[in-house]
Chain A
Amino acid sequence: DQQVKQNSPSLSVQEGRISILNCDYTNSMFDYFLWYKKYPAEGPTFLISISSIKDKNEDGRFTVFLNKSAKHLSLHIVPSQPGDSAVYFCAASDSGGSNYKLTFGKGTLLTVNP
């Protein structure tokens, strides 16, 4: 049973345009969400996070939006750059329970074309 779902295995965008990566979750106990980026042959690296008390968090070109009622979050990258090409994982945690454990989605491969 996938508790964190990334339904788009891949996404291709043009350099300079917006990339939108989506993530859905089913566990209502999840209250902290993270995005990780992974290049081939490297481990995932933390990108941005959001707590359920917020609906938006911004860091430079990266913005994460959270819609709790829909159990949906999205990562926006504006403007997209070729160096953003990587696999993006959405992850979630129950900060009040097993707050050390991250549950990951399957990832979305983003390709930014020059």
Chain B
Amino acid sequence: GAGVSQTPSNKVTEKGKYVELRCDPISGHTALYWYRQSLGQGPEFLIYFQGTGAADDSGLPNDRFFAVRPEGSVSTLKIQRTERGDSAVYLCASSPQLGVYNEQFFGPGTRLTVL
């Protein structure tokens, strides 16, 4: 079956611009997670959704970052007034249910470059 998909695969933008990154989870998965992987680092937790609600957004770096999942399926990560330090690979994962014992399936990521 189809895995987690993320679009675009690459995004180049200029400092100060607004970007949206999209994640399509595996059908039927109720839990969705966003991670950020900076160069030379491991993935870092940003936010997770159980259904439509953002149950924990404690990993978001600041209020320029926002994510939604209005219908409990597709999620969009939104970054306002982008900065060069936002450059990273943004990974989305989904799992059948919430909880670490449920395997998280990752998408290929969106590579964001802020010039």
Contact = CB atoms under 8 A, between A and B. Distances in A.
A45 B91 CA distance: 12
Contact of A101 (B45, B101, B107): B45
Interface stretch (B13-21, B68-76, B92-100): B92-100
Give me the 8 closest cross-chain CB pairs, A-B, nearest first: A43-B106, A104-B42, A93-B100, A99-B100, A104-B43, A44-B106, A46-B103, A101-B45
Interface of A: 4, 6, 32, 34, 36, 41-46, 89, 91, 93, 95, 98-107
B91, B98, B100, B105 interface centre (most CB from chain A within 10 Å): B100
A43 B109 contact: yes
B4 interface: yes
Contacts of B55: 100
A35 to B, nearest CB: 12
B48 A100 contact: yes
Interface string B32-75: 01010000111111001000000110010000000000000000
Interface residues of B, number: 27
Given A43-B109, A99-B100, 10 more contacts: A41-B108, A43-B107, A44-B91, A46-B103, A46-B105, A99-B101, A100-B31, A100-B99, A100-B100, A102-B45
B25 to A, nearest CB: 12
A46 B96 CA distance: 14
A42 to B, nearest CB: 5
A102 B40 contact: no
A56 B41 CA distance: 27
A23 to B, nearest CB: 11
B31 to A, nearest CB: 7
A95 B101 contact: yes
A44 B43 contact: yes
Contacts of A42: 108
Contact of A106 (B42, B45, B99): B42
A101 B56 contact: yes
